[in-house]
Amino acid sequence: MYRLRQIGQDLLKVMRGLNAFARYLASKDEREVGLGLLSAASSAARKGQWNRYVVRIANASRQPMACRLVFEISALTAGEPPAARYTHLTKSLIIAPRAGSAVAIDYDWMDRLCCRIDGVCASADGFWRGSLDRSQFYAVTALLYDLHGRQLDGLTVYQELIR
């Protein structure tokens, strides 16, 4: 009896997977560039000390892809989506065909910021920081846009700010 129930549950999982795979195959969405990783060096950030974030972007097409990376840090409030923005950074990039690119962002949660694209220092195209800096949890989000402003991908990690 137990095995029949387990087989039935497994069969439902397989059917859901096949359904998701069929939707993927039928999708007209032809995104060839996307985010492969967003990581923070720690689950806690310290104001005034360097905190490293790494974003990996992959380009599966045969052409170089121009895109814009937006990096945001927003305060979290209980039971609600991220609200007040604390930091907003933008950087335009060209990703080589059939390759990936790593963007490391070193940020002290104050005014020092360093972007490294594949190990080479680069300045941000735009940087804004608000005044909200309470000790609490924050959503750290990387968003990828094409040159027409269409969002291609997005990833979020969560970090606690410790003073």
Rama region for 118: left / alpha / beta (φ>0; ψ in -120 to 50; rest): left
59-93 b/e (C-beta count within 10 Å ≥ 16 → b) = beeeeebebbbbbbbbbbeeeeebeebbbbbbbeb
pTM tops 0.85: no
Phi, psi at 47, each rounded to 5°: -65, 130
Question: How many whole angstroms separate alpha carbon 59 and alpha carbon 65?
Answer: 7
Phi, psi at 128, each rounded to 5°: -140, 140
List the chain pLDDT tens, one digit each, 163 residues.
667 777 777 777 777 777 766 665 665 556 688 999 999 999 999 988 999 999 999 999 999 999 999 999 998 876 555 566 789 999 999 999 999 999 999 999 988 899 999 888 899 999 998 876 678 889 999 999 999 999 999 999 999 998 7
What three-state secondary structure class fits 28?
coil
What letter would DSSP give residue 27? -
